[in-house]
Structure 1
Amino acid sequence: MKNKLLALLGGTLLSASAMAGGYQVNLASQRQIGMGHTGTGIQTGTSSIFFNPGAMSYLRENGVTVGASGLISKIAYRAPEPSGVEAMTDNPLGTPFQLYGVYGINDKLKAGLGIYTPFGSSVNWGDEWSGRFGLNELSLTAIFIQPTLSYQITDQIGVGVGFIYAVGGVNLQRSIPVQNQQGEYGRAELDGNASGIGFNAGIFFQPSEKFSVGLNYRSKVDMEVEGGDATFTVASAVSSRFPAGTQFDARLPLPSTLTLGVGFMPTEALTIAVDASRVGWSAYESLRFDYTAEVNGADFSESARNYEDAYIYRIGAEYKVSDVLALRGGAYYDNSPVMEGYLTPETPDADARGLSVGLGYAVSENFSIDASFLYINKEERTDTGALAGGIAGTYKSVAYIPGIGLNFKF
């Protein structure tokens, strides 16, 4: 059965969905993706705004980085026996991006701005699959805007903190089990903009040229939707149960992340990095929508999620072949926060393994290019989803993620 789902995935053009634990997207820097997305315990350049603001104070030049990934993924589904019906998501290409800029106020104090996309999901199951009354399509976007300050207390210690303002939105569509005269099912669409605030803080310690360590904390951000639009397309005979002009409020937590990172530099050419992260997914207890009017007899809908905190373990390395060329590689293991009985088609999550490679090329003293490629394979998982209003069956996900970044120094 497992080989059958893998064959189904392999024979189809793949497209995007969230491919880290839950709806997290760990694609914050092309250099660091190539190193397994490590970076908390080493100097990462302008992307330290994300990985560890404490290390930003060590930058000796002003810089700007812009990069993006093409998130190409697919989820395969098989219904329980005896039907064994299969389905496949058909999603648009995801394009997580990052933009960082750092400016030195003086030798010890640095100011920076980061704009990046650490959370998101795009899942399209279509209108014909057997779970259409649970979900047809989901789009979740979150863009973090983070002004940051970093100060080098001593030659060995740097600290930094950034304020996060998050903007985004959610669009959820599902079929309604009522039919019109043509036999077409009804449809519900919830669409709204969201925003939230948080912070990112870090400390970086480098006691020698061969060893460094860092600790970084990104806070939880509650994305609040107020006055979103709830649109229902149903047969006229039941339209009174689904009033036009209904609006909704909702809240989606983007969890906190605490990361400890260590860096080893055994030679001038080789850098090895190891990170361990704890992600506070237990903040996601339920998915609730509060309506301004009664919809099918109720003024709210709520489904349990009860995620649990999860860990991510990463290792990566960079080897400088020459003054202009660097080669990179990395791997990670990402625990799923979704407990048994709570799997849903919006995030059919499972423990994941990632393998990455990358390279950096210095075109000149002031301009360089980073390229990366990440492969993610999530374990095949069978679940009833009974505790969360999910769709029983077996799910399997894979992803292929190329990316490119441009770095400017001045």
Structure 2
Amino acid sequence: MKKKFLALIVGSLLSGAAMAGGYQVNLASQRQIGMGHTGTGITTGTSSIFFNPGAMSFLRENGVTIGASGIISKIAYQAPEPSGATAMTDNPTGTPFHVYGVFGISDKLKAGLGVYTPFGSTVNWGNDWNGRFALSELTLQAIFIQPTLSYQITDQLGIGAGFVYAIGGVNLQRDLPLQNSEGAYANAELDGKANGVGFNAGIFFKPSEQLSFGLSYRSKVDMKVSGGDVTFSNIPTSPAIAGRFPAGTEFDATLPLPATLTLGAGFMPTQDLTIAVDVSHVGWSAYKSLRFDYSQDVNGSNFAENARNYKDAYIYRIGGEYNVSDVFALRAGAYYDGTPVQEGYLTPETPDSDSRGLSVGFGYKLSDDLSVDASFLYINKKKRTDASDLSGGIAGTYKSVAYIPGIALNYKF
């Protein structure tokens, strides 16, 4: 009973971070979002820093890209019968961004720097739903900083790699099943900063003007939280209860953000038409459990651990771009993203399921050096019901959708 209660208090902190991974924020380029977020097997401009560092060596001009998206998302919940109670998240608009810069050291050697947000989310269930003792609000932020080098070995072959330094933070709030003398529920807030390191590498091969291939690998990044703060409020004043939730408690934890291996191909049947296909393998099986180590006992224990047992997943993408004129291009794409969350492990932080994405976009050249890209992505996750509880979740049916517009500016010099 003690372990179960402790898990209810703190067990969802890094599962929220994993939600951002399970919801992997694939919004690394407005041009590529418009094409279903393909890009490993084609040259994508400065965003090759993310999609395939090997293709960066094929760029013939220096360039800078600045872009951002707006995530408008909703998650609906229905409790099992006989209750059947419903709830809806009130999430603020998320704003993931990306900044890329590429500079040619020589004709064959290119250097670049990317700053982007591949993980991040805000989920706000409020304090009135029946799962408030598991989660009321979660905010996660993660920023990857990636210096990159790329070298064109031959006219057809390029390689590249970049070092990744990741920084981030998480804030979680939830009610506790305890009431003070005024009838208010106790509350727990967990707040911590995280960092980690990794790398991104790729090979790009273009045997002809009509065909190209790419292989990229983004490594696992272990995000480490050290000295995170655990704050309790509205705890009953009874010494027997208050003493179980000491002030000044800190925690340490490590969360693995999974490795991704992607194989891509590009087809250019005409000078104006590009078709791209990507298949990604995401190594979610690295995420087996959560463990929190505390600076002092919380409810009688100095640690908590919860099973997650994620499974590896695949993402299938297809997209196209058609140059209507010398200054205007139209784009469209689609993808299918399999969930890593197995039955029995669905939580309010990760109400994840297989996802379908549809996207459109356009590019417009304002001048020879300046252009703009715009995109719109619609994500529809399958409705999913989970009645079991292997991870401290809330049984019920979940349904998620998201609407994501975005815009970017590109400058060549």
Q: TM-score range by the shorter chain?
A: over 0.9
- Cα distance in 2 for partners of 1:20, 1:346 equals 9
Summarize the alignment of residues 108-127 of structure 1 with structure 2, pairs less than 5 Å apart.
108-127=108-127
- Cα distance in 2 for partners of 1:352, 1:19 equals 14
- Residues 256-278 of structure 1 show CA distances to partners (whole Å, capped at 9, x for unaligned) of 10000000000000000000000
Instruction: Report how far residue 235 of structure 1 moved.
Output: 1.5
- Cα distance in 1 for partners of 2:18, 2:377 equals 14
Residue identity opposite 1:264 in structure 2: F
Instruction: Report how far residue 351 of structure 1 moved.
Output: 0.2
Residue segments in structure 2 that go unaligned for 5+ positions in a row: 1-16
Partner of 2:73: 73
Summarize the alignment of residues 20-59 of structure 1 with structure 2, pairs less than 5 Å apart.
22-59=22-59
> Does the CA contact (< 8 Å) of 2:220 and 2:259 recur in 1?
yes
Partner of 1:187: 187
Q: More displaced, 172-181 or 375-384?
A: 172-181
Instruction: Report how far residue 287 of structure 1 moved.
Output: 2.1
Partner of 1:5: none
Count of matched residue positions in the alignment of Structure 1 and Structure 2 = 394
> Does the CA contact (< 8 Å) of 2:244 and 2:300 recur in 1?
yes
Partner of 1:248: 251
- Cα distance in 2 for partners of 1:41, 1:19 equals 28
Instruction: Report how far residue 148 of structure 1 moved.
Output: 0.0
Partner of 2:237: 236
- Cα distance in 2 for partners of 1:287, 1:338 equals 14
Q: Aligned to 2:171, what secondary structure does the other structure show?
A: strand
Residue identity opposite 1:180 in structure 2: N
Partner of 1:289: 292
- Cα distance in 1 for partners of 2:112, 2:23 equals 27
1:279 aligns with 2:282: yes
- Cα distance in 2 for partners of 1:61, 1:18 equals 38
Residue identity opposite 1:151 in structure 2: Y
- Cα distance in 2 for partners of 1:230, 1:291 equals 9
Q: Aligned to 1:118, what secondary structure does the other structure show?
A: coil
> Does the CA contact (< 8 Å) of 2:149 and 2:161 recur in 1?
yes
Instruction: Report how far residue 21 of structure 1 moved.
Output: 6.7
Partner of 2:379: 376
Instruction: Report how far residue 120 of structure 1 moved.
Output: 1.4
Instruction: Report how far residue 138 of structure 1 moved.
Output: 1.2
Instruction: Report how far residue 19 of structure 1 moved.
Output: 8.9
> Does the CA contact (< 8 Å) of 2:21 and 2:257 recur in 1?
no
Instruction: Report how far residue 20 of structure 1 moved.
Output: 7.8
Residue identity opposite 1:87 in structure 2: A
- Residues 25-44 of structure 1 show CA distances to partners (whole Å, capped at 9, x for unaligned) of 00000000000000000000
Partner of 1:196: 196
- Cα distance in 2 for partners of 1:190, 1:48 equals 36
TM-score normalised to structure 1 length: 0.95
From the superposition, tell whether residues 334 and 20 of structure 1 become closer, same or farther in structure 2 (CA, over 3 Å).
Answer: farther
- Cα distance in 2 for partners of 1:384, 1:313 equals 29
1:304 aligns with 2:274: no
Summarize the alignment of residues 263-278 of structure 1 with structure 2, pairs less than 5 Å apart.
263-278=266-281
Instruction: Report how far residue 23 of structure 1 moved.
Output: 3.3
> Does the CA contact (< 8 Å) of 1:143 and 1:168 recur in 2?
yes
Partner of 2:131: 131
TM-score normalised to structure 2 length: 0.94
Question: What is the percent sequence identity of the aligned residues?
Answer: 76
**Once superposed, which parts of structure 1, at least 4 consecutive aligned residues long, lie more than 4 Å away?**
17-21
Aligned counterpart in structure 2 of residue 389 of structure 1, from 378, 389, 392: 392
Q: Aligned to 2:57, what secondary structure does the other structure show?
A: helix
- Cα distance in 2 for partners of 1:330, 1:154 equals 31
Residue identity opposite 1:222 in structure 2: D
Q: More displaced, 211-220 or 135-144?
A: 135-144
Instruction: Report how far residue 133 of structure 1 moved.
Output: 1.1
- Cα distance in 2 for partners of 1:339, 1:177 equals 28
Instruction: Report how far residue 121 of structure 1 moved.
Output: 1.8
> Does the CA contact (< 8 Å) of 1:21 and 1:350 recur in 2?
no
Partner of 1:332: 335
Residue identity opposite 2:394 in structure 1: I
- Residues 7-60 of structure 1 show CA distances to partners (whole Å, capped at 9, x for unaligned) of xxxxxxxxxx99987131000000000000000000000000000000000000
- Residues 137-179 of structure 1 show CA distances to partners (whole Å, capped at 9, x for unaligned) of 1111110000000000000000000000000011112111111
> Does the CA contact (< 8 Å) of 2:287 and 2:309 recur in 1?
yes
> Does the CA contact (< 8 Å) of 1:384 and 1:390 recur in 2?
no
From the superposition, tell whether residues 298 and 18 of structure 1 become closer, same or farther in structure 2 (CA, over 3 Å).
Answer: closer
Superposed CA RMSD: 1.2
Q: Aligned to 2:32, what secondary structure does the other structure show?
A: helix
Partner of 2:7: none
Q: Aligned to 1:95, what secondary structure does the other structure show?
A: coil
Residue identity opposite 1:331 in structure 2: A
> Does the CA contact (< 8 Å) of 2:19 and 2:350 recur in 1?
no
From the superposition, tell whether residues 254 and 282 of structure 1 become closer, same or farther in structure 2 (CA, over 3 Å).
Answer: same
> Does the CA contact (< 8 Å) of 1:21 and 1:351 recur in 2?
no
- Cα distance in 2 for partners of 1:236, 1:199 equals 50
Instruction: Report how far residue 109 of structure 1 moved.
Output: 0.1
From the superposition, tell whether residues 26 and 249 of structure 1 become closer, same or farther in structure 2 (CA, over 3 Å).
Answer: same
From the superposition, tell whether residues 121 and 215 of structure 1 become closer, same or farther in structure 2 (CA, over 3 Å).
Answer: same
Partner of 2:217: 217
Instruction: Report how far residue 385 of structure 1 moved.
Output: 4.5
- Cα distance in 1 for partners of 2:401, 2:225 equals 31
- Cα distance in 1 for partners of 2:292, 2:123 equals 19
Instruction: Report how far residue 92 of structure 1 moved.
Output: 1.3
